[in-house]
Amino acid sequence: MAAASCFGDYGVEVSSDHSASLGRKAAAMNQNSVSCLYRTKLAGQCRIVTVTWSKNVIGQGLNVGVDDGKFGCKVELRPWLFWKKHGSKGFELGNRQVEVFWDLSSAKYSPGGGPEPVASFLVAIVCEEEIVLQLGDQHHPGKGLSSSREAWKRLRAAKPASIKASLLSRREHLYGKKFFATKASFCEGGELHEVIIDGKPSLKEPRLCIRIDRKVVVQVKRLAWKFRGNQTIVIDGQQVEVFWDVHNWLFSGGGNAPANSAVFMFQMCSSSGEEIKQPWLSQQQQQQQQQRDSSTGFSLFLYACRND
């Protein structure tokens, strides 16, 4: 249940559990969404922070959740309501005060109109006068936040965290008919690569092709017999295990993915050689496994939903 609501002012809702059904809602509303999981030290403990950007016909949204969404804040950007694209909101976590700052007043998005801003924005989490997570332009002047002197003063007074947050995984919901495209970096500070999934499940002999920067890295024929599988590829000199599950493209649906949705995972291979995760687990199970295993490398999950 919501602990507080002030949509008339900031368009923000502080929620005790707002992201448990994100995947189901995204599919139901034909919503493009991007969720990033970070590991950081927050309120004296190592915790998982989920930042989700979403976009649908109603508007855009930003969710910041801690510990599987039990704590955090939700920002709804709806054009017909009075809302501000900048602000701050606090909540209590482990008897410690956590503040979330955001400034989307000058945010720039990719030409494709994705839900996640690519420049001129700021999202920061501050706890005990430390910036435990900061996204966006590191030197963004905060045009919106500067109008709230108290909020901007608190943010500027905070110092960088002693332990840098690490990106564990990225989840995207993509919609299309045959082609699904996105861009991703497979290691921190690494090169941004174009990822294209070309699925032809409606052919007499269904096929699947995955390209990285227009180069074919995975090609699956006789897809009806190989609707689940994996293959090792190399990106930036690092081994990456690619998993696919296109059962719902070919058959009646079911499982953890919505109908007409296929699941793809790109998993950086662990240096310890430990077993790699299965992409057809639920999002909550994926997050729990990431939290338990600190040696697991970065994972990219793509949920490709066909608009037939």
**pLDDT tens sequence for the chain (308 residues):** 333 222 223 333 333 333 333 333 333 334 588 999 999 999 888 999 999 999 887 788 899 999 877 788 888 777 655 556 788 888 988 889 999 998 888 888 887 778 999 888 989 999 988 999 999 875 555 556 655 566 677 787 888 888 889 999 999 998 888 889 998 888 777 889 999 999 877 667 889 999 999 999 999 998 989 999 999 999 998 899 999 999 988 886 555 555 678 999 999 986 544 444 555 555 555 555 544 444 458 999 999 998 76
Q: What is the pTM of this model?
A: 0.77
Is 151 found in the same domain as 12? Answer: yes
Contacts of 116 (CB under 8 A, 6+ apart): 34, 53, 109, 110
Is 140 found in the same domain as 10? Answer: yes
Is 207 found in the same domain as 123? Answer: no
Predicted local confidence at residue 40, as pLDDT = 92
For residue 31, give both structure tokens: 């919503």
Is 148 found in the same domain as 189? Answer: no
The residue behind tokens 């000199």 is: 237
Q: What is the domain extent for residue 267?
A: 169-306
Q: Would you say 209 and 219 are in contact if contact means Cβ atoms under 8 Å apart? A: yes
Predicted local confidence at residue 29, as pLDDT = 39
Is 144 found in the same domain as 188? Answer: no
Predicted local confidence at residue 157, as pLDDT = 81
Is 12 found in the same domain as 144? Answer: yes
Q: Measured between alpha carbons, how far is 139 from 134 in angstroms, rounded to an integer?
A: 11
Burial tier of 273 (Cβ tally within 10 Å: 0-12, 13-18, 19+): exposed
SS3 content of the chain, % helix, strand, coil (to 5): 10, 50, 40
Instruction: Give the CA distances from residue 286 to residues 265, 281, 296, in Å, rounded to whole numbers and listed in that order.
Output: 11, 6, 11
Q: Measured between alpha carbons, how far is 47 from 35 in angstroms, rounded to an integer?
A: 16
Burial tier of 92 (Cβ tally within 10 Å: 0-12, 13-18, 19+): exposed
Predicted local confidence at residue 246, as pLDDT = 93
Is 136 found in the same domain as 19? Answer: yes
Residues paired with residue 230 on neighbouring β-strands, in sequence order: 243
Picking from 109, 132, 164, the residue at the C-terminal end of a domain is 164
For residue 119, give both structure tokens: 């420049």
Residues paired with residue 239 on neighbouring β-strands, in sequence order: 234
* Alpha carbon 90 to its chain's center: 22
Is 174 found in the same domain as 136? Answer: no
Instruction: Give the CA distances from residue 21 to residues 160, 173, 261, 274, in Å, rounded to whole numbers and listed in that order.
Output: 33, 14, 16, 30
Is 191 found in the same domain as 79? Answer: no
Number of Cα atoms under 13 Å in the Cβ half of residue 83: 24
Domains of the chain: total:
2
* Alpha carbon 82 to its chain's center: 27
Predicted local confidence at residue 79, as pLDDT = 65
Q: Measured between alpha carbons, how far is 42 from 101 in angstroms, rounded to an integer?
A: 15
Nearest to 239 by CA among 266, 199, 259: 266
Is 299 found in the same domain as 154? Answer: no
Q: Would you say 113 and 103 are in contact if contact means Cβ atoms under 8 Å apart? A: no
Is 151 found in the same domain as 16? Answer: yes
Predicted local confidence at residue 297, as pLDDT = 81
Predicted local confidence at residue 51, as pLDDT = 96
Look at residue 178 and give its three-state secondary structure. coil
Q: Would you say 234 and 211 are in contact if contact means Cβ atoms under 8 Å apart? A: no
Predicted local confidence at residue 274, as pLDDT = 44
Predicted local confidence at residue 167, as pLDDT = 92
Picking from 117, 134, 164, the residue at the C-terminal end of a domain is 164
Predicted local confidence at residue 16, as pLDDT = 34
Is 279 found in the same domain as 205? Answer: yes
Kindly provide the b/e burial profile for residues 192-205, where b requires at least 16 CB atoms within 10 angstroms of the residue's own CB. ebebbbebebeeee
Picking from 110, 133, 164, the residue at the C-terminal end of a domain is 164
